[in-house]
């Protein structure tokens, strides 16, 4: 009986050791893949980089008695860094080819965001539509609560890797005296495999994001805007955190006072063309703001 007990104990010990080894191996793989994610998070929160992507996207918009589909090939240029010690971001999207455009379809879009005060998030938007008409907005959201930096993160590309978060914000601007916004994202990230970009190893992830945004304009208390968005992505990252591939399937539903007004289904494939670490393009940032100011004043 004692011999059986000893054999059983030894078998259990061997099994435990095998489990520890297996877990250690899995833990090492998980740790390596998490390093890539942590590097991207560091870039988005504290780092600087400039990158250019080529994207092929299809959009299907469904509304009341309306269905509209278009396909776009575009260049997506983005740069994240600092201006005068504060966080800043510029993004310029140029459509190089488009099928079935509307006159209001944007073919050039430029966005810039920056923090100009502890509770002030500023933005500039410049747009050229298919019709040739231009438009621009330049404005600052004042008294942003909880803080302007938290709101800025929601506008950054690849912010799904920052993890789950919820923001309940109130702020005003030159266009709306005061409005409240509730924003929540639930994100699941799963490592799937390795790939490569120009000979460099990349780690690829399946990312699912569920987003809910509720906006209430204090000047129009009966207008309650809700957006529900479900996104599934495959994203591959370099060891430094730069994304090389992003394949997106997205469904977004807009409701006003609980009634569905529009649904947009999109599929996109984005591929990295080139990038530069530790570089923020202040020239592109300043030029975009200048263009927005010039268009707004004309």
Q: φ and ψ at 104, to 5 degrees?
A: -95, 0
pLDDT score for 113: 95
pLDDT score for 163: 83
pLDDT score for 29: 45
Residue pLDDT tens, the chain, 298 long: 444 333 343 343 333 333 333 333 334 445 667 889 999 999 999 999 999 999 999 999 898 788 889 999 999 999 999 998 889 999 999 999 998 877 678 889 999 999 887 778 899 999 998 888 888 888 887 766 667 787 788 889 998 888 887 777 665 555 445 567 777 888 999 999 999 999 999 999 999 999 888 777 655 556 678 889 999 999 999 999 999 999 999 999 988 877 888 899 999 999 999 999 999 999 999 999 999 988 876 6
Distance (Å) of CA 111 to CA 65, 66, 106, 117, 145:
32, 29, 13, 19, 22
Angle at 68 between CA 92 and CA 102, to 5 degrees: 50
pLDDT score for 218: 59
pLDDT score for 96: 92
Residue-wise DSSP of the chain: -HHHHHHHHHHHHHHHHHHHHHHHHHHHHHHHHHHHHHHHHHHHHT--EEEEEEEEEEEEEEETTEEEEEEEEEEEEEEEEEETTEEEEEEEEEEEEEES--TT-EEEEEEEEEEEETTEEEEEEEEEETTS-EEEEEEEEEEEES-HHHHHHTTSTTGGGG--EEEEEEEE-SS-S-EEEEEEEEEEEEEEEEEEETTEEEEEEEEEEEEEEEEEETTEEEEEEEEEEEEEEEEEE-TTS-EEEEEEEEEEEEEETTEEEEEEEEEEEEEEEEEEET---HHHHHHHHHHHHHHHH-
pLDDT score for 71: 93
Angle at 191 between CA 188 and CA 192, to 5 degrees: 120
The number of domains in the chain is 1
pLDDT score for 147: 74
Q: Determine the structural domain holding residue 286 and report its residue range.
A: 2-297
């Amino acid at each position: 009986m004692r011999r059986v007990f000893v054999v059983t104990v030894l078998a259990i010990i061997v099994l435990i050791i095998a489990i520890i080894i297996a877990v250690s191996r899995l833990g090492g793989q998980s740790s390596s893949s998490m390093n890539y994610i942590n590097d991207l998070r560091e870039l988005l929160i504290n780092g600087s980089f400039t990158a250019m992507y080529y994207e092929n996207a299809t959009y299907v918009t469904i509304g009341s008695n309306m269905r509209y589909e278009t396909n776009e090939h575009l260049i997506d240029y983005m740069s994240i860094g600092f201006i005068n010690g504060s966080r800043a971001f510029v993004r310029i999207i140029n459509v190089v080819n488009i099928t079935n455009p509307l006159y209001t379809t944007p073919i050039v879009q430029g966005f810039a965001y920056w923090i100009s005060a502890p509770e002030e998030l500023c933005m500039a938007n410049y747009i050229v539509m298919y019709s040739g008409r231009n438009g621009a907005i330049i404005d600052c959201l004042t008294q942003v609560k909880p803080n302007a930096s938290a709101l800025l993160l929601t506008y950054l590309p690849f912010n799904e890797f920052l993890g789950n978060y919820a923001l309940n914000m109130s702020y005003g601007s030159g266009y709306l005296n005061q409005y409240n916004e509730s924003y929540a994202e639930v994100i699941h990230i799963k490592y799937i495999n390795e790939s490569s970009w120009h000979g460099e190893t990349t780690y690829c992830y399946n990312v699912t994001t569920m987003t809910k945004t509720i906006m209430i304009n204090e000047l129009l208390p009966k207008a309650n805007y809700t957006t529900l968005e479900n996104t599934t992505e495959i994203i591959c990252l370099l060891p430094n955190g730069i994304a090389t591939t992003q394949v997106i399937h997205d469904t977004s539903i807009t409701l006003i006072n609980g009634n569905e007004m529009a649904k947009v289904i999109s599929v996109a494939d984005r591929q990295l063309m080139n990038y530069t670490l530790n570089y923020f393009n202040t020239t592109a940032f300043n030029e975009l703001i200048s263009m927005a100011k010039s268009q707004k004043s004309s």
